[in-house]
Structure 1
Amino acid sequence: MTELAPDVGFGRNNPKLKNALLQHKTFSLAGLSERLFGLLFSGLVYPQIWEDPIVDMEAMQLRPGHRIVTIGSGGCNMLTYLSAGPSRIDVVDLNPHHIALNRLKLAAFRHLPGHKDVTRFLATQGTQSNVQAFDLFIAPKVDQATRSYWNGRSVTGRRRIGVFGRNIYRTGLLGRFIAASHILARLHGVNPEEFVQARSMREQRQFFDTRLAPLFERPFIRWITSQKSSLFGLGIPPQQFDELASLSADKSLAAVLRHRLEKLTCHFPLRENYFAWQAFARRYPLPHEGELPAYLHADNYETIRNRAENVQVHHASFTELLAKKPAASVDRYVLLDAQDWMNEQQLNDLWTEITRTADAGATVIFRTAAEDSILTGRLSPALMEQWHYDAETSLRLGNADRSAIYGGFHIYRKKA
């Protein structure tokens, strides 16, 4: 059930993504900003997802038999959801590079010999045998589009699959953004990688207060965080930037980023937060250093492997996929932060389809760059009155999200 449609391409000509992003005239400042963001998003963006799937699962109260529709992104979320035994997961994404990555991660579980091979393939760096594992075990079993993508060449002329022999988490738009952030910090006398030497929450706090927090007072960093394009690598589109910048007198995101970096570094033990490892060490922790994502835990391996065929990956928008589904056919919806990109018409079109396809007791979860729900004052009253906003649980689980990148986490449950 994971076949890609034969007409899915992997080039930069991606009308689905363009239609989602472009809302202003080409030669306006807003239009140029949207087009630059779209150009950057035309390649691989997220080698791993930056939403905490453990928080998602608690919010959704996932049970065996549930039918889920989720945005794909880096694919870690849908693999983690599989550990709960859902009967079906539909993965949608407008970025064909993410589709190829989701397909590959599923294939790794289905076709590599065992758990250690999957962990080696998805969680280690500098393991050239991963390329041979792809050639031997995965390539013969996947569809032609996915095989061609990973056998294809990047702009450097190397096979794309080669990143799994090096470190895929240092690639993609986010990987390059993290690398640039490290360089910027080093130019100001701080080596972010030293953070992973912390051995207690107290040492984590000390590193933040003495090394990281002062960076946000530096004039150049305040200036660069006031430029929309400088933060596109975080996945912050122009619409999100404007909303966040409106909270600051100097239109800089320095204070917002400082606050969220504080949560990432100080609110969770380093051993339990693989997001912090990716941000500071640019890799996953070794076994003696900390925990891997839940989908790579040994006790989840068999369940995920056996249910990987229950996932179907679609090159489509959320609304487009739902429009093809019958009424009352979905139990859980995971929108990530996609609504932050939408205008009111797109929001109402989406929630019209969500409401139509939602079965009894359905739950929708999403994140926002700012703290407040994106739906307030924008979704039609006729749609809004059919959903209950679980404000208390949203706040509690938003605080528990280890990725620390978003301002708000939101849970809506279908009224009886």
Structure 2
Amino acid sequence: MTDIAPNAGFHRNEKLKDALLQHAPLSAAGLSERLFGLLFSGLVYAQIWEDPEVDMEAMDLAEGARIVTIGSGGCNMLAYLSRRPASIEVVDLNPNHVALNRLKLAAFRHLPDHASVRRLLGEPSVKTNAHMYHRHVAPHLDAGTRDYWEARDLMGRRRITVFNRNIYRTGLLGRFIALGHLIARSHGVRLEELAETRSLREQRLFFDNRIAPLFDKPLIRWLTRRKSSLFGLGIPPQQYDELASLAEDGTIAPVLRHRLEKLACHFLLRDNYFAWQAFMRRYPKPEEGILPTYLQERHYSAIRETASRVTVHHANFTELLAGKPAASVDRYVLLDAQDWMTERQLNDLWSEISRTAADGARVIFRTAAEESILDGKLEPAIPGQWHYQAERSQALTKQDRSAIYGGFHIYEKRPV
């Protein structure tokens, strides 16, 4: 496992290339994979889009657990610390995410109080955030992470100054959401007006009358027939194919409409910060709703006290597990990474999971489609070691406030 190389593009990121590239360079599929890789080589997710409350309930997460998780935007890893696990090992193929995870951890450990953490990581337009970083956080970062945040962007600004503005409007996903707002506005719809609703009924009326008709517009149906149109969501070509398997007419517009409907209508707006980021492009103010789990004041002390138990690696999941002893991990969080994988990669991963899993270990993951990605793909010796919690998985899929995925899945290690 190597440390981050903050300025390495896709062509130099061998870990990402190994995970993503499955087809010949000059084939249509190969070109699509390489285009996605170029886009994915920068910051993709400033915020993770999996619901940590669902994660922790599914894992039955308790004090003393040993966790391995994919990093992404880092929010869930920090939320897990509220349960005081023994250790968390974070892996990510994207060095930008590695740098973000390490910054968030350092902020909890070294900023003076909860209010300063909230200002840095949860509030837009705080002009003193970069100064706060230099005074309290920078001296405690490793050299690679500090170089990343103090390097200059294409406009000559140091990267850390994004926290003076709104980091959640940057990255691949942040810019994709901005484009969605622009397209909606070109059709006369201001998505941020959802903030004016005061009940589930009003949220439903806004969606039915303003948002749903957009999915019948020719431009949107044309865009959603193309894999590249969803690269901004961090959806690789393989995952687009999973979504397309749910569609009937060559466009995934109906699938996206259904997912956006859940985001807008199935949870009270004040309880769903994912909806605030999608529609208002910020977190709610205290009088408007709740913050992400890790930014809530009631969890601050536990996260600050246990942040030193986290190690962040620029590595893939299988690579990390291969170096661990047998029966040494209690909980595994795979996000949606398996949607990218070949059958060989899935089997390599689950061989290591099965080897390193302690008694009663649990694996949780999400899929673009509704069914588990593992069905019929694992070698015979592996599935018998695991119990799939089908009913619990379906129930928690419905509770996931991010509403992005088709399925949430829980596997538990059977007794030997």
TM-score relative to the length of structure 1:
0.98
Q: CA offset at residue 157 of structure 1?
A: 1.4
Q: 1:310-349 deviations in whole A, cap 9, x for unaligned?
A: 0000000000000000000000000000000000000000
Counterpart of 1:247 in structure 2: which amino acid? L
Range moving further from structure 2, 217-226 or 331-340: 217-226
The count of corresponding residues between Structure 1 and Structure 2 is 413
Counterpart of 2:168 in structure 1: which amino acid? Y
Range moving further from structure 2, 55-64 or 228-237: 228-237
Residue 91 of structure 2 contacts residue 314 of structure 2 at CA under 8 Å; is this kept in 1? yes
Which residue in 1 is equivalent to 2:305?
Answer: 306
Residue 52 of structure 2 contacts residue 76 of structure 2 at CA under 8 Å; is this kept in 1? yes
Aligned residue for 1:378, secondary structure, equals: coil
Q: CA offset at residue 365 of structure 1?
A: 0.2
Aligned residue for 1:68, secondary structure, equals: strand
Which residue in 2 is equivalent to 1:159?
Answer: 158
Inter-partner Cα distance in structure 2 for 1:7 and 1:201: 44
Counterpart of 1:143 in structure 2: which amino acid? D
Counterpart of 1:83 in structure 2: which amino acid? S
Change beyond 3 A, Cα 1:7–1:100: closer
Residue 190 of structure 1 contacts residue 211 of structure 1 at CA under 8 Å; is this kept in 2? yes
Residue 2 of structure 2 contacts residue 315 of structure 2 at CA under 8 Å; is this kept in 1? no
Match of residue 11, structure 1, among 4, 8, 13: 8
Inter-partner Cα distance in structure 2 for 1:117 and 1:328: 39
Q: CA offset at residue 294 of structure 1?
A: 1.0
Counterpart of 2:8 in structure 1: which amino acid? G
Q: CA offset at residue 246 of structure 1?
A: 2.8
Identity %: 67
Counterpart of 1:40 in structure 2: which amino acid? L
Residue 6 of structure 2 contacts residue 147 of structure 2 at CA under 8 Å; is this kept in 1? no
Counterpart of 1:11 in structure 2: which amino acid? A
Aligned residue for 1:83, secondary structure, equals: helix
Residue 369 of structure 1 contacts residue 408 of structure 1 at CA under 8 Å; is this kept in 2? yes
Residue 8 of structure 1 contacts residue 315 of structure 1 at CA under 8 Å; is this kept in 2? no
Change beyond 3 A, Cα 1:405–1:65: same
Q: CA offset at residue 10 of structure 1?
A: 3.6
Listed as ranges, the matches of 1:63-78 within 5 Å are 63-78=62-77
Residue 89 of structure 2 contacts residue 312 of structure 2 at CA under 8 Å; is this kept in 1? yes
Q: Is 1:332 paired with 2:321?
A: no
Counterpart of 2:172 in structure 1: which amino acid? L
Inter-partner Cα distance in structure 1 for 2:375 and 2:4: 38
Aligned residue for 2:376, secondary structure, equals: coil
Q: 1:193-241 deviations in whole A, cap 9, x for unaligned?
A: 1111111111100000000001111111111011100101111110111
Inter-partner Cα distance in structure 2 for 1:243 and 1:79: 30
Counterpart of 1:25 in structure 2: which amino acid? A
Give the superposed CA RMSD: 1.0
Structure 1: which 5+ runs fail to align? Answer: none
Residue 348 of structure 1 contacts residue 380 of structure 1 at CA under 8 Å; is this kept in 2? yes
Inter-partner Cα distance in structure 1 for 2:133 and 2:366: 34
Q: 1:25-67 deviations in whole A, cap 9, x for unaligned?
A: 0000000000000000000000000000000000000011100
Inter-partner Cα distance in structure 2 for 1:301 and 1:192: 32
Which residue in 2 is equivalent to 1:23?
Answer: 22
Inter-partner Cα distance in structure 1 for 2:5 and 2:320: 15
TM-score relative to the length of structure 2:
0.98
Residue 53 of structure 1 contacts residue 77 of structure 1 at CA under 8 Å; is this kept in 2? yes
Inter-partner Cα distance in structure 1 for 2:143 and 2:268: 43
Inter-partner Cα distance in structure 2 for 1:386 and 1:247: 30
Which residue in 2 is equivalent to 1:178?
Answer: 177
Listed as ranges, the matches of 1:124-203 within 5 Å are 124-203=123-202
Residue 4 of structure 2 contacts residue 95 of structure 2 at CA under 8 Å; is this kept in 1? no
Which residue in 1 is equivalent to 2:271?
Answer: 272
Aligned residue for 2:332, secondary structure, equals: strand
